[in-house]
Structure 1
Amino acid sequence: MKSLNLWLCCTHILSLISPSSNCSFASQFHKSSGRQRVMEKRLQEAQLYKEKGNQRYREGKYRDAVSRYHRALLQLRGLDPSLPSPIPNLGPQGPALTPEQENILHTTQTDCYNNLADANVRRYLQLTQSELSSYHQKEKQLYLGMFG
């Protein structure tokens, strides 16, 4: 009998704080904690994409690195409170970033933009080198054909 009463009491309390409840505090609490989890997940995914980009960069796979850095920046889009939202005043605002989260956000953004620029330059140089090498090979063949 005691366990049934305890179970009924617990279900009653849970119903009071469930998201489907009419209680605005409970509803806001669940929405806020849900947004916080989403923000944390996006920060972690951005860091993961950045690390994958760094790995591709070390391997000399600059095109893949650029793709990973771009994906990391897309994960961070909308989390930075200093940037204007593309659609202002749409829906409730998310919870403010903690100082630690804000530091992670700005560090990851800065790293990705810097790495993205460097990877694009190296990719361009790689393509240019390939084109020059191809041009010189053709020129050498032409020369050998004429005088060889």
Structure 2
Amino acid sequence: MEAAGGDESMDVQEPSVSGHRRTSAKPVWTSLEEAVQMKTEGNAFYKEKKIRSAIGRYHRALLVLRGLDSDVMASVKGFGPEIPALTPEQEASLRSTQVDCYNNLAACLLQKPSVDYSRVRDYSLRVLKWRPGDVKALYRAGVATLEMGDALTAKQYLTQASREQPNDANVRRNLQRAEEKLSRDLQKERAMYRGMFPSGVKSSAEEGMNQTHRASGEALAGQLNAPNEASN
């Protein structure tokens, strides 16, 4: 049976801060294994196309992991038991499970009849923060950004994905969509400039506009290619 609809709307919340210290905490490996198990259950639900149930499992896995994430717990220090420093192996397991859950959440959201593209992009950018160059995250970030109206940024994400997966039909199709939208937008801007300026300054105005587009694209490409710089 598919999980109740409440799972679907569950957000990844900050750990509760009540002013009272907890008296016990699960061992690190126990929590990591619990999160991995929830992720595995989410994957099974996803394969069965039970999207709401899958979303609920991924969110719950991330909630468990937040209590182990030093980046998160630093902001609530003093309100709960001190978590031990993770070993390199534990840290790797934590990040790997987080990345998989965020990647899979983005995939789930794209399967819904009404897609929240801002959340798809947010989840995909979190993946890229920890796993730069992840093709699936680049593709989903590109699709979400394109649907949100930013064809220039979408093209950069999809171009990077295309370099890694040049034969992927979905990547090629959405990259073409981004390029077509950029072309339409450029034509609209040119038409606007033609109506604003006398004929003697049309060419210089259009050239300035083209240079601005090229400069914006080059600057954005540099930002996307910089290591570990994708924002949350």
Fold match by TM threshold 0.5:
yes
Measure, in 2, the Cα distance between the counterparts of 1:85 and 1:95: 12
Paired letter, 2:53: D
Cα distance, 1:81 vs structure 2: 1.2
Q: Percent identity?
A: 46
Root-mean-square deviation (CA, aligned residues, Å) is 2.3
Q: Deviations over 1:52-101 (max 9, x none)?
A: 00000011111110011001001111201123445223355221101111
Judged with a 3 Å threshold, the aligned counterparts in structure 2 of structure 1 residues 94 and 53 are, in CA distance, closer, same or farther, namely same
Where do 5+ consecutive residues of structure 1 fail to align? 1-30, 127-148
Q: Please show how residues 131-142 of structure 1 align to structure 2 within 5 Å.
A: none
Match of 1:69 in 2: 58
TM-score normalised by structure 1 residue count:
0.56
Hey, what's the Cα distance between the residues in 1 that align with 2:72 and 2:80? 17
> Equivalents in 2 of 1:73, 1:124: separation in Å?
24
Tell me which residue corresponds to 1:48: 37
- SS state at 2:112 partner: helix
Runs of 4+ in 1 over 3 A off after TM superposition: none
In the TM superposition, what are the counterparts of 1:82-93 in structure 2 within 5 Å? Answer: 82-90=71-79, 93=82
Give the whole-Å Cα distance in 2 for the aligned partners of 1:104 and 1:72.
13
2:200 paired residue number: none
Please report how far the alpha carbon of residue 40 of structure 1 lies from its aligned counterpart in structure 2 after TM superposition.
1.3
Aligned to 2:28: 39
Distance (whole Å) between structure 2 residues aligned to residue 39 and residue 69 of structure 1 = 19
Tell me the secondary structure at the aligned position of residue 73 of structure 1. Answer: helix
After TM superposition, give the deviation of residue 105 of structure 1 in Å.
Answer: 0.2
- 5+ residue gaps in structure 2? 1-22, 116-232
Q: Measured at CA, do residues 47 and 92 of structure 1 come closer, stay the same or move farther in structure 2, by a change above 3 Å?
A: closer
CA contact (8 A) 1:63 1:123 kept: no
Q: For this pair of structures, how many residues does the alignment match?
A: 93
How many angstroms apart in 1 are the aligned matches of 2:67 and 2:99? 16
Match of 1:132 in 2: none
TM-score, normalised to structure 2, is 0.36
